[in-house]
Structures are given as C-alpha cells and as structure tokens.
Structure 1
C-alpha cells in the first residue's frame, strides 16, 4: 500500500492562478521597467500576524553568491510580468544602488521599526502603487 504522503511529494501542485509556492518565487528575476535585470528574489519576509508578504529581499550583484548585496523591496512594489517570467519594480539601476541594502556581514535588525520605516520611506515616493 502506498504511503499517503507520497502523493504530496510526487504530484505536488506548487502554482495555481492565484497562489505560488515560496520555493518557486525564490530565484525569480527582478527587472526595471526598461526590462534590465536588476537581481533575483533571494527570500521574502512574511508578517507573522497577517500572513502577508511584507518584503521581497532581492539579491543584487556579486558572483556565485559572494559580494552580493540584498535589497528589501516592499512586496506591493513588485508586479509579475508573464512575458518576462519575472517581477518588475519601478526603479532604475541607479535608484536601486542608493536604496536601503545590506550584505551578509551587515544583516539588518528586522525587529527594529526604524529599519523597516527607513525601507518604506525610501520607496514611498518612488513606487506608484
């Protein structure tokens, strides 16, 4: 008799019209409106109370994971583009370079409201959503 959990590992549905598994979002490209690749989604931060994704953390630059910088982007600032099979954020590469970011050596304190307000304030005037 087959193990009932085998169905979930072999026939897993990880994307529907409105839902997608987190592992399919991680690694997805992020583009500027001019279709320049800015980076890829490294991970995202979920609000524990609401269950909503608050930020997508984009990996930018580096080579083979070394020298990367990480840019938290408000989730609502991203739009999925089916033609690009990636997300588009209304930023130029220069705007991204001056955006809040961190490295693996300088991780932010996500529990510090000052940090998340700094991120939100940066994008508030730039993202027209």
Structure 2
C-alpha cells in the first residue's frame, strides 16, 4: 500500500512529468517558486519546448492547477499544448523577478 504522506521533497518534484488530461506529455517540472512569507509553493516551473534540453523555455504554472496522478506518475494540468505555448514564459538564463506584477500576469493568464 502506498504511503499517504502529505509532503514531498522538492528534489523529487523537479523532473516529474506534466501531462494534459488526454495523457499527452507537456514537459517536466524544472523548478518550484516558493512564497518567502507563507512558505507555500506558488508556481511549478514547467520546462517545455526545445530539443534535447536545448532552447527550452520555462513556463510558470500556478501550483494549484497541478494534480498528481499516481497512474501516470506525474502531474496533470487542465491545459492543452497550445494554451501553454501562449503562456507567460522565459529563457532558463533570464529568470524574472516574481514580483506582484509578474505573478499577476501569470495568474491572469490562467484565470486565477
């Protein structure tokens, strides 16, 4: 029987695959963005696009949108590849400040 432990190490989250509801792999988790004050994970940064890790962009997804699916051993988000392709993103070497303005842009895109 699987453990029902409610916590997970960020090391285990990073690299986990992300799928859409149809089972298509959208990418994998590259990083987690944690609120300094509350300690809560605010965003999971999806690595998506490129070829063999070259030219991949980072797409911050609101953590609340990700649901872990044990049958896929990954997270599922209610998004299509096209929706993610049009989402806020940045190059891996150009991490933006996750200030209120940038966070607002992400949340607005996803309707939160």
Q: TM-score, normalised by structure 1?
A: 0.80
- Corresponding residue to 1:108 among 84, 96, 106: 96
Tell which structure's C-alpha radius of gyration is larger.
1
| 2:45 aligned partner | 57
Post-superposition shift, 1:16?
5.7
Q: Distance in 2 between matches of 1:80 and 1:86?
A: 6
Within a 5 Å distance, the mapping from 1:10-49 to structure 2 comes to: 17-49=5-37
- SS in structure 2 of the partner of residue 65 of structure 1: coil
- SS in structure 1 of the partner of residue 45 of structure 2: strand
Q: Which runs of 5+ in 2 are unaligned?
A: none
Q: Distance in 2 between matches of 1:59 and 1:119?
A: 16
Task: Give the root-mean-square deviation of aligned CA atoms.
Answer: 1.5
| 2:81 aligned partner | 93
Post-superposition shift, 1:108?
1.6
- SS in structure 1 of the partner of residue 106 of structure 2: helix
Q: Which has the higher strand share?
A: 2
Q: Which runs of 5+ in 1 are unaligned?
A: 1-14
1:117 aligns with 2:104: yes
Q: TM-score, normalised by structure 2?
A: 0.91
